[in-house]
Amino acid sequence: AQSVTQPDIHITVSEGASLELRCNYSYGATPYLFWYVQSPGQGLQLLLKYFSGDTLVQGIKGFEAEFKRSQSSFNLRKPSVHWSDAAEYFCAVGINAGGTSYGKLTFGQGTILTVHP
């Protein structure tokens, strides 16, 4: 079964600083990888996704993520954080094993981002 680990429960950065949120996955084949963001009291919104091809993926709100197969990682980055980026971020992995497996999605534990002015 696939699994996702986000090693950092809580990260604090200053506004304007760069950001990297870590995500490691466990899955035998090439996974489908996602980053979602959850603002306080809200549902989740997709930031970006990786299916195949270029391993550096651009998303919304200036975020990007890089798929590294050798490290089983899909870290999220942003060069300059804004106060509005404060939220909880979730990495997720989907599997592609045929049949109804396309519906199964496993999320990490989440990383809470605090932004200091």
Partner 1 sequence: EAQVTQNPRYLITVTGKKLTVTCSQNMNHEYMSWYRQDPGLGLRQIYYSMNVEVTDKGDVPEGYKVSRKEKRNFPLILESPSPNQTSLYFCASSPVTGLYEQYFGPGTRLTVT
Which residues bind to partner 1, rule: CB under 8 A? 6, 9, 32, 42-46, 49, 51, 90, 92, 94, 96, 100, 102-110
Closer of 16 and 61 to partner 1 (Cβ): 61
- Closer CB to partner 1, 17 or 46, in the complex: 46
Q: At closest approach, how far in Å is the CB of 80 from partner 1?
A: 25
Give the HSE-up count for residue 38: Cα atoms under 13 Å, Cβ half-sphere. 15
Closer to partner 1 by CB, 83 or 102: give it.
Answer: 102
- Cα dist from 52 to 29, 33, 57, 66, 80, whole Å: 12, 10, 10, 12, 27
CA distance 34 to 107: 9
